[in-house]
A and B are shown apart, each in its own frame.
Chain A
Amino acid sequence: MAELDVGPQGSLTIRLEVNGEEAGGAVEGRTTLADFLRDQLGLTGTHLGCEHGVCGACTVLLDSLPTRSCLVLAASADGCRVETVEGLARNGQLSRLQRAMWDNHGFQCGFCTPGFLIQAAALLEDNPTPTEAEVRHALSGNLCRCTGYESIVRGVLAAAEVPEQAGDESP
């Protein structure tokens, strides 16, 4: 990580890539990546459910790794590649994971949704044909209070079963 420019009142200027586009801005040292994405970039799809790293609603991909954006300072994400729930659909087309979740009534209130989608997308990237036990294990760090998880697990398994379509790279 390069040294950051310190601006007026101690603000720091960061530059990063978010969903494939250049982004940046002035942040306080204490600003979390989640708050930066939500408040400064307007990417409110990433939700804050606990702000202490347990519920997983704020999970984003940070240099391809699923990460709790409430526990990462925006300044430390300088120079990184971030992917959020807003980046899952490409060219207005839902990803196959999103479609499978829709078909399977994956979610109810929708608050935990972004974290599960990112976590599941990362799983399918690593392991395109997971077993149910592997899916449950991979999602066990994300909390949902509505569904009892079965519909989410089914959605991920269904996404894994759908063969890749041409031009559909995002799991």
Chain B
Amino acid sequence: MRGQVAAERYTGASVRRVEDERLLTGRGTFVADVQLPGMLHAAFCRSPLAHARIVAVNTEAARRAPGVVAVFDGAEMAQLASPGGVLGESPGAGGQVSFGILAIDKARLVGDPVALVVAESRALAEDACELIGVDYEELAPVVTVEQALDPGLPAIFEELGGNRLFGPQVKVFGDVEGAFARADRVVRASIHQHRHQNVPMEGRAILASFDAPSGQLLVRASTQGVNTTRQMLAQQLRMPPDRVRVVAKDVGGSFGLKFGASREEVACCAASRELGRPVRWVEDRWENLTVSGQAREESFEVEAAVTAGGLILALRVEMVVDTGAYPGFAPLVVDTVREMIPGPYRLEALSFTSSGVVTNKASYVAYRGPWAAETFVRERMLDLVAQELGVSALEVRLRNLATRDEPPLRMVTGPSLAGITARESLLRAAEAVDLTRLQEQQVRLRAEGRYLGVGFATYIEPAPGPRQEGEGGDSEQVRVEVDRDGLLLVHTAQMPHGQSHRTTLAQVAADEFGASLEQVRVVVGDTRQTPEGFGTGGSRFATMAGGAALHGARRLRGKVLEAAAQVLDLAPTELDIVRGELVGPGVPGGRLPLAELLRRIDLAARSGQLPLGADADLTATQDFDGGESGWSGGTHCCVVEVDPATGLVRILRYLVVEDCGDLINPAVVEGQIRGGVAQGVGAVLLERSAYDLQGQYLSATLMDYLLPTALDVPHIEIEHLSPVRLDPDVNFRGVGEGGMIAAPPTICNAIADALSPFGAKVLEQHLPPARILELIGVTSA
């Protein structure tokens, strides 16, 4: 039965989650579930206009409204806190522009917070927001990239002198001109990825409680990392970090959204500090969809230098990112897109130009696989090249994929491709779907007016990727200790929000230490207890935290055995720890529970009976740099049928052949993959963050922003490839983002294949029925 451990080891088994008993019985603790004595509620008065000068903010009536304790406008809030933060100082990330925690003289998007009302209940706070009078002087909205580059339109930040935030920045790898000169043809395309967004089921939320006597701010947050949140809050509230404690319990999803602290969250902390009372804010779905952040809006001009034999020698790429209103995360994404665009393919040269613009739309945030455009653009391009050369999508990939036994096993942008299994994954996927039979079926059905399509996408994911020469600095810390109850505590900076870290880290530590799973407690989400580290993201958990826990538990086991040997006067080699008990021929009674052993060691240490130099501190603080690691990756394959009458796409089959190294918990891995693919299904068939020409947001409810349901997401078949193990100990690799990286190009390639008899060219990612009917000429664009 699933959930039982058949083998000796927990690692590799789909053990049941330790999180579930609580969550299945309604006893989770999300921020909105916490009530504190004297707690106040926050609501924001927000701009109804996309771009406007704020002439006056009148809060008098709101201040007198029932239940209202305080109102802060932008100027008042600026006295208490200032924006900026972890990414804020890097070029293009906002270092060169200034704005308020609440909008001061300008509103830059629909929903921009203009004032904060704090009241005895959320309803009363919202009532009072209605009483705030704001005089706006409307400015021409900047909604598209073209408008952002139009010098005739007003600058969203005057200090930028326009709406270009960074670039154009050109980077060249290899001999691009030489490659294009040698090419037999050049394939060109303009490829666009549309704006869509995270939409975690729990939106942003914070409960700030400032204790005036001690000067301590305790923050209960919904976050991907308590340390990053603390760092940003302390900086923006201008407080010493030791006065800020951030605690997170259950987090209802995030997918990249909840890093650090948003402007609204900083404002709530400032208000709590000012008022000396707890202030809670739980954003509603309108706020989440309209202002929490959006992702992915990126355009690419691509030229591929191709030989008659189907080799892609080089790419010229120009990328423009629409970063929305407030700068932040985009430059980091651009860097990763540039580095990753060669993927597992033998490209010999690349020219990459990048720019970012600001527009009057929601700010650009990370969303699962933030750099995924590299896979979308490359895998779409490969199909376009195949089409142009008259070879199959499979063939063009096989001709270009890097192979482990053919040097140089390295991307033209630098990173080593050591250990990749991309070719194996593609061949296996083609075999598993029986491509030859499918293609015959496709021809047969076309004669009946039915349109079947098959699509592939092959990708690698730096999760974290093999060790790179000259690389250093990245590491993850885990602290492992045995407490006096004989529990094995594993402290991590990772902050699970659906990824089951409390289970998987316990599996790794239990195996390595010799504990039973029930003895292990994974401690997360408290800046007082957990080590430094930015949190859960970038698919770094499995290798980085898994590796640190493995080595930490191993070291701690050595320490415990050493101390036990001294206390019991035995040789450490005669001792073992099995399922949390000390065992060995000389052990009194044959076995000693860990708690009892701890008591004896402690007693010996206190009475000076441990030999000099013996270590009774049964803690191991372990840093891990990822070891040799390796790539996650694989191939997705999708089979669709498109109905040319309705434009509806039916996914007939979806297959994932993947390699994420050794699996800690297969059910958790497969849940991550399926969840990512589901978001990809949504991105292509349903989801779009849509704006009108005035910058009004059109997708502000879940009836307008459509998430996939149980009827939209197909059964997803998953095969795990056997990995190339580069590290002697740690070969778990991250798997959080791959599903969402590979699914959009896979599905788009399948749809493009189905539509090929119509001569339709798919250059975009969002393909709802209306767009498909345009592409096949039933309706006009």
Where the two chains meet, the residues of A that have a C-beta atom closer than 8 Å to any C-beta of B are 28, 30, 38-39, 43-52, 54-55, 57, 84-86, 88-89, 94, 98, 101-114, 117, 135-137, 139-153
Contact = CB atoms under 8 A, between A and B. Distances in A.
B675 A147 contact: yes
A104 B30 contact: no
Nearest to B1: A103
Contacts of A45: 25-28
Given A44-B33, A145-B253, A149-B678, A52 B17 contact: no
Interface stretch (B213-221, B701-709, B719-727): B701-709
B308 interface: no
Given A44-B32, A108-B675, A113 B24 contact: yes
15 contacts: A38-B32, A45-B27, A50-B701, A88-B24, A94-B25, A105-B16, A107-B20, A107-B24, A110-B498, A111-B28, A111-B252, A113-B28, A143-B707, A148-B678, A151-B674
Given A107-B20, A109-B251, A145-B201, 15 more contacts: A38-B32, A102-B16, A103-B16, A105-B667, A105-B671, A110-B20, A110-B23, A111-B30, A111-B250, A137-B710, A145-B253, A145-B679, A150-B674, A150-B713, A152-B710
A105 B315 CA distance: 43
B255 interface: yes
Interface string B2-21: 11000000000010110111
Contacts of A141: 709
Q: Please indicate which of the listed interface residues A39, A46, A101, A107 has the most CB atoms of chain B within 10 Å of its own CB.
A: A107
A151 B16 CA distance: 13
Contacts of A150: 674, 713, 715-716
Contacts of A142: 709-710
A151 B301 CA distance: 40
B499 A148 contact: no
Interface size classification for chain B: 35 or more
B276 interface: no
B252 A110 contact: yes
Contact of A143 (B2, B255, B702): B702
Contacts of A103: 1-3, 16
Given A49-B285, A108-B498, A151-B671, A140 B709 contact: yes
Given A39-B35, A102-B20, A140-B709, A112 B201 contact: yes
B14 A105 contact: yes
B612 interface: no
B703 A102 contact: no
B596 interface: no
A145 B707 contact: yes
A143 B674 CA distance: 15
The 3 closest A-B pairs by CB, nearest first: A45-B26, A111-B252, A110-B23
Nearest to A28: B123
A29 to B, nearest CB: 11
B25 A98 contact: yes
Given A141-B709, A148-B675, A148-B713, A109 B252 contact: yes
From DSSP, what is the main secondary structure of chain A's interface residues?
loop
Q: Please indicate which of the listed interface residues A110, A144, A152 has the most CB atoms of chain B within 10 Å of its own CB.
A: A110
Contacts of A144: 201
Interface in B667-692: 667-668, 671, 674-679
A133 to B, nearest CB: 9
A140 B35 CA distance: 32
B25 A143 contact: no
Contact of A147 (B17, B23, B674): B674
B651 to A, nearest CB: 12
A146 B123 contact: no
B20 A148 contact: no
Contacts of B255: 145
B358 interface: no
Contact of A47 (B24, B202, B498, B671): B202
B493 interface: no
Q: Please indicate which of the listed interface residues B28, B255, B497, B710 has the most CB atoms of chain A within 10 Å of its own CB.
A: B710
B25 A148 contact: no
B674 A85 contact: no
A79 B710 CA distance: 34
A145 B16 contact: no
Contacts of A88: 24-26
